[in-house]
Structure 1
Amino acid sequence: MINFNGTIVSQDTNVLFQNRAFLYGDGVFETVKIVNNTILFLEDHYFRLMSSMRVVRMEIPMNFTMEYLEEQILSLVKKTGLSLSSRARITVYRNDGGYYLPQNNTVSFLIHSIALENTLYSIEKKEYEVDLYKDFYITKQLLSSIKTTNKIINITGSIFANENGLDNCLVLNDSKNVVEALQGNIFMLMGDKLITPPVSEGCLNGVMRKQILSLAKKIETLEVVEEVISPFDLQKADELFITNVIKGIQPVTRYRKKIFTTHVSTQLLEKLNEIVRNA
């Protein structure tokens, strides 16, 4: 028997009391965008998921191919009527058993999806203010670059942003450099130089980050680099924007007293939507 919210129930009741993702954050996940029954950037998501599972020493099932993953996601959105435009999350977690040391490394997975209003990417909010979140720091290590079910920094940072009337916060690593935003990777324009932190700084190896780097390198007027960004650089920047697969590109308009333009982010958003139209 166990106590669940003040009620004594059978331990067979499904309250996740043995689920390792719930107990220890022993899980990894991917969030994908589906447009017209197509998973955008499927290959990048699949290989990042496989890499994440290897990093945390999960056993990858023999049938867990890219085609299998695609089939599982699309069958769900088809059944729920969300094939036109939706987001889906696949969470892979180590099976029950053990404490810090698992009894085995086999896995199970869970997929759920919700509808999205638009198929194309758009800038939903024209005014977007950020500040630094300094209560906790990201460490410069491989685990920081993958999507695990331990996102407590992002959660506490989001609460901090909400309490202070901010739209987002920028997160620092243990060297006090800017790594990413709470909900995506960060890009900074300084003159004709577009900068994003390297993955070695502790930022997420984002799927949309990869797309934006590729698109930006095709703009002849831009120099695109992966370099360290210090908090002092933000005050000198011409433009800041945040990227993730669901929202695409979100320009930052204000950081403290600094106001930013949105020219390059708007240009990149148009190029990104060309990919979606051709998907």
Structure 2
Amino acid sequence: MIYINFNGSLHFKTDAIFTSQNRFAFGDGFIESFRVFNDKITFETLHENRIKASCEVLFLELEKFNLEEEVSKVLIANKLKNARVRIHFFRVGNGRYLPETNQCNFLVEAEDDNVQAFHLHTIETISLSKQYFKASHSLGNIKSSSALLFVLAAKEANKNTWNDAILLNENKAICEATSSNVFIRKSDGLLLTPPLNSGCVAGVMRQKVLQLLQQNSYQIYEQNFTVSELENAAEIFLTNATKGIQSVVKFNNKKLENNIAIELVSLLNKEIGL
């Protein structure tokens, strides 16, 4: 049986622990996902900080929550050393659109994964979503429990035989992919990623990659860029906390390079002592 952790107590994953009237059903919360390698949470402090920031934006009060402690309960119960971990944070109580409280539930689940380090992933082909756009406001920076926009964009990509889709915001600036932040390398070597005010998720891997690029003397800027700049990029790569770095092989059938993506995988593993 697989164990999960609900508010500090272990349960079987098949247990009924709340009803359909729970705030979970309203998407009234957020998600935090990350890797565990050799019993260690990758970039733990950055995830702790993002959890606190997300709670503040959503007016959630998370009391007596220790990230390492609560994750360890699930890892030990399921006898896992390497895993993908997902934590759902959502408001306590029932009710409708006006919440009864700001107190916060949490649910920790872990998926077995024998991978012991970050590896370069590839996305064969990617293109722009023509149907869906993301609004550039502060809620966009949160990994919301409601993934409807990204689900529909992913379905659009699948229908068009792409492996992923990139979304624009309402200003027609590049925002993000369906589950990842976007970076490009221009032909002159300049690296760009959309700023948080574009509406992109404030990804932990995005933050760590920015740090690593700056520490290694790359010219990296958080700034809005256009579809034309994306089309003319020499390299495009995506980042998220569970997959790490994903190198895009082709954008609109244009073959791309992967030099920076390869180096970043090495830098990430060095950063976590692997």
The two structures have a TM-score, normalised by structure 1, of 0.88
Shift of residue 16, structure 1, vs aligned partner: 3.2
Q: What does residue 158 of structure 1 align with?
A: 154
2-structure distance, mates of 1:14, 1:113: 17
For residues 37 and 268 of structure 2, what CA distance do their matches in structure 1 show? 13
Correspondence for 2:98:
101
Instruction: Tell me which of 31, 34, 37 is aligned to 2:36.
Output: 34
Name 1:3's counterpart in structure 2.
Answer: none
Amino acid at match of 1:74: S
Report the 3-state secondary structure (helix = DSSP H, G, I; strand = E; otherwise coil) of the residue aligned with 1:28: strand
1:196 to 193, 204, 214: 193
SS of structure 1 residue aligned to 2:221: strand
Could you say which residue in structure 2 is the equivalent of 1:75?
Answer: 73
Residue 257 in structure 1 maps to residue 253 in structure 2:
yes
Q: Deviations over 1:149-190 (max 9, x none)?
A: 011111111111222221111011111111111111000001
Question: 2: distance between equivalents of 1:107 and 1:214?
Answer: 31
Larger radius of gyration: 1
Query: Does structure 2 conserve the Cα–Cα contact (< 8 Å) formed by 1:171 and 1:182?
Result: yes
- Is the partner of 1:277 in helix, strand or coil? coil
1:87 is aligned to: 84
RMSD: 1.5
Q: 1:55 aligns with which of 54, 57, 69?
A: 57
Gaps of 5+ in 2: 1-15
Tell me the percent identity.
29
* Matches of 1:15 and 1:216, distance apart in 2: 44
Q: 1:19 aligns with which of 1, 10, 22?
A: 22
Distance in 2 separating the partners of 1:276 and 1:32:
13
CA–CA distance in 2 between the matches of 1:209 and 1:219?
A: 15
Deviations 1:7-37 (A, max 9, x none): xxxxxx7673211121x21011101211111
* Runs of 4 or more consecutive aligned structure 1 residues displaced over 3 Å after TM superposition: 13-16
In structure 1, the residue matched to 2:204 is: 207
In the alignment, residue 226 of structure 1 is paired with which amino acid? Answer: E
Q: What TM-score results when the alignment is normalised by the length of structure 2?
A: 0.90
| Number of equivalenced pairs | 258
Unaligned 5+ segments in structure 1 are: 1-12
Match of 1:226 in 2: 222
Q: Which whole-Å CA distance do the structure 2 matches of 1:219 and 1:43 have between them?
A: 21
Q: Distance in 1 between matches of 2:88 and 2:155?
A: 23
State the distance in 1 between where 2:258 and 2:17 align.
Answer: 48
- Residues 195-217 of structure 1 deviation map (CA, whole Å, 9 limit, x = unaligned): 00100110111100011111111
Cα displacement (A) at 1:117: 2.9
1:48-77 Cα shifts (integer Å, max 9, x gaps): 11111111111221x12xxx2210101211
